[in-house]
Chain A
Amino acid sequence: MSSPACNPQTFAQKALARAAGLEATTVGQIVDARPDIALSHDNSAAIRLIWLRFGRDQVWDAGRMAITLDHAVPAPTTRHALNHAEIRRFVVEQGIDNFFEAGEGICHQVLSEEALVVPGQLILGADSHTPHFGWMGAFGAGVGRSEMAAIWATGELWLQVPEAIEIEIRGELQPWVSAKDLALEIIGRLGADGGLYKSVEFTGEGVGKLPLSERMTLANMMAELGCKSSYLQPDDAVFSYLARGRLQQAAASPRDEALEETAQELERGALYPDPEAPYEQRHCFDAGATEPRVACPHTVDNTVSVGELAHVKVDQAFLGTCTNGRLEDIEIVHRILDGRKIAAGTRLLIVPASRRVLQAAIRKGWIDDLLEAGAVLGTPGCGPCMGNHQGVLAPGEVCISSANRNFQGRMGTREAEIYLASPAVVAASAVAGHIASPAEVLET
């Protein structure tokens, strides 16, 4: 019984053992982990400059790299354009097939759609929202530029096996309440450093009741809890989605048998925490009791009930980002705007998370309706989330945003205020002209 393999393990212990080629790991152990995918984006040109210091002609494995242009697309300035041009040259020179051009979408969304990462794998990204891939039961962690350069050179990076927190989800979300509200509830209660360095592992019957888009939002937002990685136990819905993503590269409508076979293969790679895994903390949240929450300036854990903010006038409502720019999020905005007008003096900005999301929304007819209602549409990508372009704010303005960070200065000026909320609250606020719950708008 003294062998570590006999002891119950968390997901993080198992995933890092696999990535390091070990039978098992202990909490606190430092391992040399080999990522299945190394992700970078507009920062790839800067990473390349660091990588050049190794004096090598070739990266360790071009097939395991993925690069997206998403943080400032299309290029808003000549300097941004030069940055993109450097990245394109590097991609060609190194033969990196997993390259996604400006307009393809946000890295976490695109890699999920393409099923480039699958359950049980390790993805390291030069992006702090890499815990996003926990939605499918993969271990995703953010790293810095030097670390990504080191991975490009050597294919590995030291990681410490983190402590883990179990969050059990019970029940099912009420109509017009989303995983964003649940995430804000969790972060508000545990604090912006409540998961510092830790693996946040979601378990319980409530996980399977969350639509996949909501699971993505939940895993993604755990970055704002300070976590190293997050994890939701994967189920058949996850395996089917990813199987479709894998096979659609080869054929537009893959055969049912092929989908089934691929889904089963993905299931075999999935990892689950053991029943008696050594969690440092255990929490339980009731999805059914969750109500719309809003994070007030300037920290994500500064959350209140939406009803407390009716006095806050909104200049810009922003729907988008890796947290909440998916088709289901646009659908919610479309449903709330149905037959209603955007308030005078308020702007609604929609930036789809990917080209596929945008195309699907166009096919549904939603984009036409939203533009008719007065919404402004941006190129798929990160949009104004970190203040680069496409809808930054003026001093004194207020933005209600579906993004993940409301830090002072984040959207271009320190004299603007950013409130974070669900797509439903963003849409309702666009209609009301002040921060509003969906119920308030739908009743009128």
Chain B
Amino acid sequence: MSERGSRVWKYGDDVNTDLLFPGKYTYTLRDPEEIAAHALEDLDPEFATGVRKGDVIVAGRNFGCGSSREQAVTCLVYNGVVAVVAESFARIFYRNAINNGLLAVVCPDAVDSIEAGDSIEIDLEASTIRSPAGELPFAPLAPTLRAILASGGLIAHIQQTLSA
């Protein structure tokens, strides 16, 4: 997977799941369009209307902390976001991301180097982000996670494994 020309939305530390997708919608909204419309509404009201297919989010520490709600990931996926780059991730969000085919990259250097609106390219093969500030290496993803991503998510991955 190599993402070219991704436009960056930038946020800070501890972006929690309530900010990504408010809890009051978790047991009623199922339609992807409805879920997408509420993405980040309490953090950045301009996100859901301004985001474009192929965009990425760059953020600080503990991204996705809080609830296990998977819509915190799917609301980004349904909006066309292809990756989140963060200094660190909360563990359930991280798993949910990979399980839904959303690339989650741990890259502490990215926070200081990449600005909102930058165009960046994430090269998963080379484990490198190419940004206006230069090349930023990140630790390669574990083989298990790469396999899930390559399948397009956890469910597809298990289906392939079971039928193999």
Contact = CB atoms under 8 A, between A and B. Distances in A.
Interface in B70-91: 70, 73, 88, 90-91
B65 interface: yes
B27 A193 contact: no
A107 to B, nearest CB: 12
Contacts of A408: 18-19, 42
Given A83-B28, A407-B18, A144 B23 contact: no
Contact of B23 (A147, A150, A387): A387
B42 A414 contact: yes
B89 to A, nearest CB: 8
Contact of A153 (B19, B30, B95, B158): B158
Interface residues of B, number: 38
Interface residues of A, number: 47
A79 B25 CA distance: 10
Contact of A197 (B18, B91, B144): B91
A225 to B, nearest CB: 10
A288 interface: no
B23 A410 contact: yes
A71 interface: yes
A126 B14 contact: no
Contacts of B18: 386-387, 405, 407-410
Interface in A127-184: 127-128, 142-147, 149-150, 153-154, 158
A407 B19 contact: yes
B27 A144 contact: no
A143 B68 contact: yes
A71 B68 CA distance: 13
A244 B66 CA distance: 33
A412 interface: yes
Interface string A402-443: 000101111010100000000000000000000000000000
Contact of B28 (A79, A125, A144, A193): A79
Q: Is the interface of A mostly helix, strand, loop or mixed?
A: loop
Contacts of B19: 407-409
A144 B95 contact: yes
A226 B90 contact: yes
Contacts of A145: 68, 70
A388 B142 contact: no
B67 interface: yes
Nearest to B72: A144
A144 B70 contact: yes
A387 B73 CA distance: 19
B129 interface: no
A409 B19 CA distance: 7
A343 interface: no
B133 interface: no
B96 A144 contact: yes
A388 B23 contact: yes
Contacts of B142: 30
A193 B88 contact: yes
Q: Which of A72, A79, A197, A407 has the most CB of B within 10 A?
A: A407
A144 to B, nearest CB: 4
Given A147-B95, A150-B158, A412 B27 contact: no
B110 to A, nearest CB: 17
A196 interface: yes
Interface of B: 14, 16-19, 22-24, 26-28, 30, 42, 61-62, 65-70, 73, 88, 90-92, 95-96, 99-100, 142, 144, 153-155, 158-159, 162
